[in-house]
Structure 1
Amino acid sequence: MTDDCAVKVYKALGESTRLQIVRMLVKRRELACLEMAELLNNTAASTLTHHLKPLLECGVIAVRKEGTFRYYRIQRHVLEQYAPSLLKE
């Protein structure tokens, strides 16, 4: 992966809500938006989308669509390369 990719990953993880999302996803296999919003004290969907976008763009998380639901999961290989300590929590 390029330096540009590393910058995007660290920038995405540098925001506390995004880091919290990643930590939640490390502990669970997958989470739907609604579940994440509840775990983040009923965060608004638009705010959650704002935080998920950079995590998706840099490859830290991936999304799976099932009907009208979206399920998010960690891309372990990306965290193993850039932030392995997050996988040990």
Structure 2
Amino acid sequence: MVFENRQFREAVRVYKALGEPTRLKIVQLLLQHKELSCTDIIEHINVTACSTLSHHIKLLMDCGLLELRKEGTYHIYRLQVDLLKHYAPGVISD
């Protein structure tokens, strides 16, 4: 598969984001639960600091894998499944 420059940069960002175990766990959690807040994510994964989680969330957002919805003071995250299917279909089990 030959990528155009934009597609190549997008692919690199997605693969880099998915290449870290904590971020991959976040993606798997969101596949199971559809939407989660930061509080919910922290309860499910071994992250001790909110700043660490924020870093992981930012990288997933920057590559387009996550979508944010605000509900009052909560930030609710949802996975962009189509993008995940395009670049990493093996992560999704049907």
Would the TM-score normalized by the shorter structure come out above 0.5? yes
Q: Does residue 9 of structure 2 align to residue 4 of structure 1?
A: yes
Please tell me the root mean square deviation across aligned C-alpha atoms, in Å. 1.3
2:64 matched to which residue of 1? Answer: 59
Please report the TM-score for the alignment, with normalisation by the length of structure 1.
Answer: 0.93
Point out the structure with max Rg over C-alpha.
2
2:54 matched to which residue of 1? Answer: 49
Distance 1:46 1:82, change over 3 A: same
Please report the TM-score for the alignment, with normalisation by the length of structure 2.
Answer: 0.88
Trace 1:3-82 onto structure 2 (pairs within 5 A): 3-41=8-46, 43-82=48-87
Which 5+ residue runs of structure 1 have no aligned equivalent? Answer: none
Q: Deviations over 1:30-84 (max 9, x none)?
A: 0000010011135321110010001000011111111110001110110110011
The amino acid of 2:48's aligned partner reads: T
